[in-house]
Structure formats: C-alpha cells, structure tokens
Structure 1
Amino acid sequence: MLQGLNHLTLATGDLDKSLAFYVDLLGCRPRVKWARGAYLTLGELWLCLSCDLPRPAGDYSHVAFGIPAEHFAPFCARLRAAGVVEWKTNRSEGDSFYLKDPDGHRLEIHVGDLESRLASLREAPYQGLVWFD
C-alpha cells in the first residue's frame, strides 16, 4: 500500500545554478552532490536535482511549498529582490507566491494546508464540487 510522496525529481540544465537557487533562496538543505545530480531536503521532502534537458510543464502543474503566515511576506520580498520570475497571481484561499526555478519549473510558496482549503470550499464551493467525506 502506498504511504505518500517518496521524493521529487526535477530536471536541471545547470546543476550549480539550480543548487544555489534551492539552497540559497528556498532554504533546502544540501545532502549530497555528484557530477549529474544532487539530493536536498526541505522538512520531510527529499528533492533530487537531476541533470537532463528540462521540459517544464506548460500547464497548471506545479510544486507547492508550505510556509508559516508570519514568514510569507519577508520570504517573498527576498525572492522578488533576487529577481525570480513570477508566473501567476494568486486567486485562491491562502497567500501564495508563484515563481519559476532557473529551469522554468513552476513552484508555489503557500500559506495554508488542505484543511484550510477545504474550509474555504465550504464557504465558496467550486462549480460541480462533490464531497467524499
């Protein structure tokens, strides 16, 4: 039986640039690096950067990282000062900052969790919303 997300692997065209982004800007902890990749951690997340030709999704697919509300504004200000590319403006529950990594992978910095999102759906349901529990 599946237990949850094991790890996330993102392709990178420039390992050193991506490593600096994820470690210096986002705060990931570097664990190991080799010629064609690196392993990082962020909380319970195991992140692998793997040298390959990046082909980021052109759709809404993205990776969202959680952040406490009190850290959101200064963290986003630091990202903006570093010149990150923003790809979307937030229109949903909870504060969110949408950015791209150096290879164009879409990321989100989000305040909130599934429970806060479900609570917001009780107040303003999406069209066609069906509850399963």
Structure 2
Amino acid sequence: MAIGGINHVTLAVRDLDRAVNFYVQVLGGRRRAQWARGAYLELGTLWLCLELDARAAPQVDDSHLALSVNAQGFASLKEAIRLSGARIWKENLSEGASLYFEDPDRHKLEIHVGDLRTRLASCHEKPYEGMEFFDDGEGETPAQ
C-alpha cells in the first residue's frame, strides 16, 4: 500500500494569532514554527498547519477533523473547549465519548475516545442501514 497515514493537515484561518491561541491554549497543541502568514503546530502526532487566508469560510456539510483523546483526558479537555466558548455543532450518536465543536474559524472538529477497531466492533453489534463489512480489505484492488 502506498499511503502510510496522514502527513499533515492545513486549515485556512482569518486571524492567525486567534487560531494559534485556540489550538495551543485550549487544545494543548505545541507551536513549532510561526511566520507572517502561518504556523506549524503539533497536536499529539498530528502536524497541523494554520494558514492565513481571508477567504476562510465555514463548512456547511458534516466534514470534520476528529482528534484522538484518551478516556482519562476527555472530561478535562471537553470542559476546556466548552469554557473557551467554542460552538458545539453536533451531538454524539456513535460509540465512544465524543464532543463535536468548532474552532474560531468554524472548522468542524471532534475529540473522540476510540478508534476504527472499537467503531467496527460497535457496528457489528448495531450496523448502519445497508452496512457491509470487509476483513482486511477483502475484495479491494490495490492502487497501481
């Protein structure tokens, strides 16, 4: 397989200092570099690039970036997010503790306790409408 994981995520922001503050002060990220039009942050193993762009606009669909948190840290991070005034955009209806919220530029984010393995186990017990399961990519053709 050619893809090894996510390399980095870039989010367009309208106010760089405000965005950096949110990701560092509220979510606990580490600022690694900053320049006039952007910043590189670390959130766990995620390399996040914030890029100044006056055209940044909120998504109107359900697209979002989910960030892994452990069960022990979930409650305190959830409280910090709520205290920041972040808008909650969706209630959790799936397995695992989740909080769906927006950053100051209205990027849709989620903190989630769980992973693909726990989600699939939950779905095996209560599948979504029309859901099929494939073991180890069974029936898939690798990219050339």
Q: Give the TM-score normalised by structure 1.
A: 0.96
For 2:116 and 2:126, the matched residues in 1 are separated by 15
Shift of 1:55: 2.0
Which residue pairs with 1:105 in the alignment? 107
Does 2:81 align with 1:79?
yes
Q: Which residue of 1 aligns with 2:15?
A: 14
Alpha-carbon deviations, 1:1-36, whole Å to 9, x = none?
Answer: 222211000000000000000001001110000000
Mapped to 2, the partners of 1:93 and 1:111 lie a distance apart of 9
Which secondary structure state, in structure 2, belongs to the residue aligned with residue 48 of structure 1? strand
Task: For structure 1, list consecutive stretches of 5 or more residues without a partner in the other structure.
Answer: none
How big is the alpha-carbon RMSD for the aligned residues of Structure 1 and Structure 2? 0.9
Q: Secondary structure at the match of 1:83?
A: coil
1:27-68 Cα offsets, whole Å, 9 max, x none, are 111000000000001121110000112123210100000111
Structure label with greater radius of gyration: 2
Which runs of 5 or more structure 2 residues have no equivalent in the other structure? Answer: 136-144
Q: What's the secondary structure of 1:38's corresponding residue? A: strand
Number of aligned residue pairs: give it: 133
Structure 1 CA distance for aligned equivalents of residues 91 and 46 of structure 2: 25
SS at match of 2:120: helix
**Alignment-derived partner of residue 51 in structure 1:** 52
For the residues of structure 1 that align with 2:127 and 2:14, how far apart are their CA atoms? 41
Give yes or no for the alignment of 1:63 onto 2:81: no
Partner Cα separation in structure 1 for residue 77 and residue 48 of structure 2: 20
Kindly, what percent of the aligned residue pairs are identical? 53
Whether 1:23 and 2:24 are equivalent positions in the alignment is yes
SS at match of 1:79: helix
Amino acid at match of 1:67: V
User: SS of 1:126's equivalent?
Assistant: coil
**More displaced, 68-77 or 98-107?**
68-77
1:33 aligned partner: 34
Q: TM-score, normalised by structure 2?
A: 0.89
Q: CA deviation at 1:90?
A: 0.6
Q: Mean Cα displacement is larger for which, 73-82 or 104-113?
A: 73-82
Shift of 1:101: 0.4
